Amino acid sequence: MNGAILTVKIKGVFLIQTQGGATPIVLLEDDTHRIMPIYIGLPEAMSISAGLNNELPPRPMTHDLFMSLLERFGSQIDSILIDELNEGVYYARLSISMDGNNFEIDARPSDCIAIAVRCKAPIRVRDDVFSEAMVNMGELKGILSLDSFLSETM
């Protein structure tokens, strides 16, 4: 796959009402304010939100553990790339540097984003994937920020 690659930012972590109930999503936004939703699991939503809010848990969670391992082995995340959308499933890769070598690891976008937030790595999306998945905010009915939801339920 060739084509332009966009650097995006996280607009936020939200809950959206679906037929099955409230579902977590992370919204990515490009420089032109287009929005791309990625439906994710609740643990990943909580992890991304914690990373965005610079919250440190009393004990390391999975993404924190991963970051500790990377640091311990002298590795770093250079970027993440969401590069494919196939039948509603996104595919992503972590670009890692270690001992002067660069390599990529296939991973779920939600895990990639949770890790990128922690190490301030750029989040990139292939433009054709972004264009295929983008939505208008008005299309996202019943959306509520995860932080708002958590503050209301606690």
**HEC string of the chain?**
CCCCEEEEEEEEEEEEEECCEEEEEEEEECCCCCEEEEECCHHHHHHHHHHHCCCCCCCCCHHHHHHHHHHHCCEEEEEEEEEEEECCEEEEEEEEEECCEEEEEEECHHHHHHHHHHHCCCEEEEHHHHHHHCECHHHCCCCEEHHHHHHHHC
In this structure, how many other beta carbons lie within 10 angstroms of the beta carbon of residue 58?
Answer: 4
**Fold category of 5-153 in CATH:** Bifunctional nuclease domain (3.10.690)
Which pLDDT belongs to residue 149?
A: 66
CB contact set of 99 (below 8 Å; sequence gap of 6+): 74
**Which of 34, 1, 6 has the alpha carbon at shortest distance from 127?**
6
Contact 44, 146 (CB under 8 A): no
Give domain limits for the chain: 5-153
In residues, how long is the chain?
Answer: 154
pLDDT digits (tens, 9 = 90+) for 11-60: 999 999 877 788 999 999 999 999 999 999 999 999 999 999 999 888 88
pLDDT digits (tens, 9 = 90+) for 107-154: 999 999 999 999 999 999 999 999 999 998 888 877 888 877 666 665
pTM of the model: 0.90
pLDDT digits (tens, 9 = 90+) for 61-103: 999 999 999 999 999 999 999 999 999 999 999 999 999 999 9
